[in-house]
Each structure stands twice: as C-alpha cells, then as structure tokens.
Structure 1
Amino acid sequence: MELEPVTGLPEVRPGDDIAELVAERVDLEPGDVLTVASTIVSKAEGRLADLEDYPVSGRAQEIADRIEEIAGEEKDPRFAQAVLDESAELLIDVPFLLAETRFGHICPNAGIDRSNVPDHDILLLPRKPSESAERIRAGLEERGYEDVPVIVTDTCGRPFRHGQTGVAIGWAGMPASRDWRGEEDRDGHELGVTVQSVVDELAAAANLVTGEGAGGVPAVVVRDWEFGDHGGSDELFRAVENDLVREALRDWEFDG
C-alpha cells in the first residue's frame, strides 16, 4: 500500500471545488482512495463563523462559568453556545465539552476548530460529511476518475489512550467496515465478532502523511489497497441503545 500526498493545494476558500483542486494536481487510478481533511471540506462549504454570531443562552453561560470554576480555564460562553448549536447531545460539560455532532460523531467541542481559520474565529465540521464525500467522489468521476472512493477525515482522541489519531467522519464509494464474521482464522476457527473499520484505518494511515500544523497536507491518495471479497457495512457509529459507554457518561457527574 502506498500513501501519496496531494501537494500544492492552495488555501481553500468558500465555494472552491475540492474535486477540481485535487484532479489538477494528481493522476488518480481506479481503486485509489482519496482522503480529505475535514478542514478544507468545511472551508469549501463555508463553515466558518465568528463568535459574535452566537447569542449566549443561559445554558451556555452556565457551562462557561462552571468550567472556569472547576477546571480553572476561562471558557468563552459564545464558544460554548457554538458547541451547543452544533450538538445533538452534550455528554460531558465539565471539565471539558464532549458532544455528539448532528451526524453521529462524538468528539470534544463538537469538532469545532479554532486553528487555521483565516479571517474568522472558528471552523465548524461539515454538516453532513458523507454527503460531502459523495460530492467530491462525483466531481472526480465527472473529470474521468472513476472508482475512487473518498473519505473525509478528522483527528480525534481516544478513551484510555493518550494522543490523537485520524478517523473517518464521512465516506462515499466504499463501505465503512469490512466484515470478517463467518470466515476462518489460520487455525480453522470461525470468526464471530471481527468487523474491521477500514475507513478509520485508512484515515489513520493517511494522517501519518497529512501531518499537523503549518506543514500539513490536507489530502492523501491511498494506492494499492483492496477491500477484498468480504461483506461490508456503513454502520460506523454505534446505535444509542447499544452504546454502554454513552449510557455511562449520561449518568456520570464530575467530582473534582
């Protein structure tokens, strides 16, 4: 498997066509997978905002005051309001904000970014990242690049571990997971639970090339990787009724 960065991309602005920008800079082959950082997808879709656009509710002010009191960190209540507006559910409100986005991803601050946002205060995640991925995939197909799945990526921390890794928040042209259940291991034992989240694994691999900070490259081509002859599924986010961690967080209270 090879990972090829798409170099030379300009600063993406609202209205830019990511498929066109990529197609001008790399020669894609059938079966390639294009990973695109959510930051440039959001910028192209105009998901930039200023904190003054968020009138502060009583709930947002309460959250900001409590974080400052308990964690000793000053939290702008307008930022807390932005998180509330972008969230389907707030799972933790102190000592930090952990939210479920409206498309099902759970992450700190509903994925709102305050870095690499020229001329604005914050950058919101794409509203529907899988639809964003499909638009990019279709745009590549219109330019003659067929059979090129697209994954929209973000970086996210993980429970029980330090550090962040690349994850998929949207995808198109391929299943999210590869189902090994019913197949046999090398000793002939039938696999009963193994469902491999390939979009997350490809996002994490691409993030090694994408990098972070000023030298980051927001798009990567994954080449010579095959899904294989397996069943697939798009069920990446756990259903609420089957998510024991979410249920535990709903009942948890910070005791600091």
Structure 2
Amino acid sequence: MSAGPSESFRVWAVPGLPEVRRGDDLAKLIAAAEPSLADGDVVLVTSKIVSKAEGRVVEASDREAAIDAETVRVVARRGTLRIVENRQGLVMAAAGVDASNTPAGTVLLLPEDADASARAVRDGLRDALGVDVGVLVTDTFGRPWRSGLTDVAIGAAGVRVLDDLRGGFDAYGNPLSATVVATADELAAAGDLVKGKAAGLPVAVVRGLAHVVDGDFEDEGARAMVRDARDDMFRLGTSEAVREAVTQRRTVREFTDEPVDPGAVRRAVALAVTAPAPHHTTPWRFVLLESAESRTRLLDAMRDAWIADLRRDGKSEESIAKRVRRGDVLRNAPYLVVPCLVTDGSHTYGDARRDGAEREMFVVAAGAGVQNFLVGLAGERLGSAWVSSTMFCADVVRGVLGLPSDWDPMGAVAVGHAAVAPKERAVRGAEDFIEVR
C-alpha cells in the first residue's frame, strides 16, 4: 500500500464479459476478461450483474408491487415517483428496483448484501489471479440539490470508503474540521465515465490509487457511508416531514435538564402564526417564560389561586395536595409558553347568538395556532404538554406577567426534551371520524 495519494491514475472498462446468468461466478468471469489485474487495483462492478448472478431477478408484472416489497420507509413522494429507504438501508428512487436490462415481465432487485457480494468477488479474484484488489459494487443514484445521476458505491471490500481528513490542515494551514471524503463514491463515478449506461460494459478497473486498497478495510463496507438517522438533516421529503412532525407530536410530561434552544421555540411560533384566522386578524400572542424566576413566580401564584378554588369547593387538604402534585408537569419543565388570545378586529353585532359565534371563531383560530406551535416544537425534536390551567385563573396570569387586560391565556405549554420515549399512540383510523353526505 502506498503512503499517500497518487498524482495520476488510469481507469478503463473491461470488455468481453458474457451475459451474466443466475449462478455465474463473477470473479471467474472478470478474471478471464481481465487477467492482468494487479495488486492495488480497484474493480468496479455494476450491481445489475451482481443481482443477476445472485438470482435477484424476479417475476413482476407490476413493478410498483415489487417496489412496495423492497421498501421499509417512504422518504418522499411526487406523483408515481417514490424516494424510499429500502431493505439494504439505502435511500433511493424506487427502492433500486430496475426494469431495464432484464427480460420483459421481470425486474432486478439490488443484491441482498452488497458488501458480502463485494467480499465474494474480492476473494474470488485473489484465488483466481493471486492479486490483492479492492472491489466496489456500484449503482446509479440521483442526489438531493443536484440534477443528473451518478454512480455510487453500495457494496465494498478492501477499499477505504471514507477518508476522514478531520484534524489535518489545508495548504494554508487552516484546520480541517468537517472534511470526510466519500472515496468509494468518487471511484464509482470515475468508473461510470468509462462503463457508460448503455454500452454493455458492467465492470471497470481503476489503477494508480493503491493507497485506498488494504485488507484492513475489509470489514468497513459501504454501509459505513449511510448517514445515521440522527445525523440526517434531510431524512424526509416536505409532505412526509410535515406528516412525521404531526404524528410524532406527543404530550410529554417528563423532561430532562437539557436547556431549550430559544431559537427553536421562536421558529415554532413562526409556524403558529400561519394558522387561519377570521377577518384577516392575528389573534395569537405567545408569552415565552425563559427565566426560572418568571416561571416560578407564575406557577406559585397559580398554585395559590388553585388551592383557594379547591378549598372553596370543599375539597380536603389531602385531596388538594394530591391535585397540586399532579399539576407539576409545568413546574418540572425547563421552558414555559403561555399562548394568549386577542380579539382585535372581531365584529360586534349586538346579538348574543352572533356575538357568541364570533368569539368562538377566534377561539378556534387560537387553537389552530397552538396546534401549529406544538407541531413546530415536535419538528424541532422538542417535547411539549399543553395544559389548560391558565384559563382558570386568567386575572392572576395577567397580573403576574403584566399582560394587557384583553389578552386571554389559553393554557400553558410545557416545553423540553423528553426524559422517556413516548408511548405508542393507538391507531386511529380516519374512517372512524368521517361522515359522508
């Protein structure tokens, strides 16, 4: 293995390979077509011939059904086009199910384990030719933000798939803090330039980059290139991201001590104020209690008011103590928000029925704003609990927080990072809530 990058390399397609069929030994076919392979070469094998050799050709009169079977998660959908995560953990169009270069009525599925396929070809070439090469199994991908397709590595053996340059320095002495090079994908793309998409040349060789080939990389595999879900900022398409944020919203009652990013709350408020409202009004106000002092002062005053109400109701001191303890969800949260309703712009009709309906319209709009806010918090990976308590002591809340007399508190929202994973929500079928006329 050389100590560093080469100043030049050569890449060529391998001619003379026969049509690959189920059960064929790819290593023997490649060795026969390119007997001059040398130590340090990288062999690039198109996934199609790997799939054919491994019997991944299946009868499928309906390609969509085959895509369904290979899909574990829909990332984005536009019309009939689906970007999905497939069984191999790859995010790609149509789960990698391919209806080209295969007989009519059949489709090609990706190799079940492309890393294992690469290892088998590497071992076979070592046995056949006595050479130590790297092997990549490649497939064609589209890419976010960029038009056009390119080949990437979906399986690897004996190749450094990622070159982590973090901790080094550039030519000007600046530290490299985020540079991890996708070496295997760069090799795959280089091979695609000579293989082409329709030339019938499914194998290419790169020579002159022996520094990326080593048995120490045997266990690394191309799976190391799949970004972990926690680090993937673009894990979902637009509509799917909205749907996930809505479905992942849960009432969270236990929080960690991790601080809440005020910017995240403000971004959630920005979503809240896109809710519909009557007469082109803006009936929402969000009071952010970011200091522990402001939260404690409000909650102490609310507790005292609540206790006074319970005593007037004739509740025992034991019963009162239990109720107060159950209300600690707000006190245990590291951040509180008090959403308020204002009815500026509402109409007065002088008719109790119509004036009541006018008020209800504004309350509904306030609820829509709070729902947007809760979904926005979920999108920021923050837990929340919307508690109604401020509505029962509005004057106390206005007095403690110094709010105008026409601001009506609409509960309080506890915000923080969930201390425990939320329970699975019971499945609710839409049909249970629909009446059609």
Question: Which TM-score band (shorter chain)?
Answer: 0.7 to 0.9
Instruction: Report the 3-state secondary structure (helix = DSSP H, G, I; strand = E; otherwise coil) of the residue aligned with 1:205.
Output: helix
Instruction: Rate the CA distance shift 1:228–1:124 in 2: closer, same or farther, 3 A.
Output: closer
The answer to whether 1:177 aligns with 2:159 is: no
- TM-score (norm: length of structure 2): 0.49
Q: Deviations over 1:51-80 (max 9, x none)?
A: 25xxxxxxxxxxxxxxxxxxxxxxxxx322
CA 82–191 in structure 1, closer or farther in 2 if over 3 Å, else same: same
Query: 1:1-256, aligned counterparts within 5 Å?
Result: 1-26=9-34, 27-52=36-61, 78-95=62-79, 96-118=81-103, 120-213=105-198, 215-227=199-211, 235-247=224-236, 249=238, 250-252=240-242
Distance in 2, matches of 1:3 and 1:118, equals 31
Q: Deviations over 1:209-251 (max 9, x none)?
A: 01012x231000100113369x986520001111110145531
CA distance in 2, matches of 1:153, 1:165: 10
* DSSP-derived class of the 1:143 partner: helix
Partner SS, residue 142 of structure 1: helix
Q: Output the amino acid matched with 1:221.
A: V
Question: For 2:175 and 2:233, how far apart are their aligned partners in 1?
Answer: 26
Q: Which residue of 2 aligns with 1:66?
A: none
**Structure 2 partner of 1:59:** none
TM-score normalized by the length of structure 1: 0.83
Larger RCO (alpha carbons 8 Å, 6+ apart): 1
Deviation readout 1:115-145 (Å, 9 max, x if unpaired): 1103642111111111100010011111133
2:142 and 2:150 in contact (8 A); partners too: yes
Residue pair 1:42, 1:124 contacting (<8 A) in 2 also: yes
Residue identity in the other structure for 2:17? L
Distance 2:101 2:153 in 1: 20
CA separation in 1, counterparts of 2:233 and 2:166?
22
CA–CA distance in structure 2, aligned partners of residues 20 and 208 of structure 1: 24
Distance (whole Å) between structure 2 residues aligned to residue 251 and residue 153 of structure 1: 29
* Matches of 1:21 and 1:228, distance apart in 2: 24
Q: 1: distance between equivalents of 2:41 and 2:51? A: 23
After the TM superposition, which of the residue ranges 141-150 and 33-42 deviates more from structure 2?
141-150
SS at match of 1:141: helix
Provide the rounded CA distance (Å) in 2 between the counterparts of 1:94 and 1:158. Answer: 16
Instruction: Give unpaired runs (5+ residues) of structure 1.
Output: 53-77
The question of whether the paired residues in 2 share the 8 Å contact of 1:35 and 1:206 is answered with yes
Structure 1 CA distance, aligned partners of 2:40 and 2:187? 13
String of CA shifts for 1:79-119, please: whole Å, max 9, x gaps.
22211211221212332111112122111100111111036
Q: Distance in 2 between matches of 1:24 and 1:144?
A: 9
- Aligned letter for 1:193? A
Does 242-251 or 192-201 show the bigger shift? 242-251
1: CA distance, partners of 2:21 / 2:212: 37
Worse-superposed segment, 28-37 or 117-126: 117-126
User: Aligned AA for 1:245?
Assistant: F
**Equivalent-residue separation in structure 1 for 2:173 and 2:212 (angstroms):** 19
| Amino acid in the other structure paired with 2:209 | W
Answer whether contact 2:161 2:183 (CA < 8 A) is retained.
yes
The alpha-carbon distance between structure 1 residues 97 and 245, as it changes in their structure 2 partners (threshold 3 A), is same
Paired amino acid for 1:29: A
Q: Which amino acid aligns with 1:153?
A: T
Distance 2:58 2:84 in 1: 19
**Distance verdict in 2 for CA 1:16–1:252, change over 3 Å:** farther
Q: CA RMSD in A?
A: 2.0
Count of residues in Structure 1 that have an aligned counterpart in Structure 2: 226
Q: Percent of counterpart pairs with the same letter?
A: 40
Moved more, 234-243 or 20-29: 234-243
Tell me: CA distance 1:228–1:134, structure 2 relative to 1, closer, same or farther (3 Å): closer
Q: What letter matches 2:188 in structure 1?
A: A
**Matched residue SS, 1:188:** coil
Query: What residue is the counterpart of 1:69 in the other structure?
Result: none
Rounded Cα–Cα distance in structure 1 between residues aligned with 2:149 and 2:237: 23
Q: CA deviation at 1:200?
A: 0.2
Alignment-mate amino acid for residue 35 of structure 1: L
Higher percent of residues as helix: 2
- CA distance 1:117–1:17, change in 2 (3 Å): same
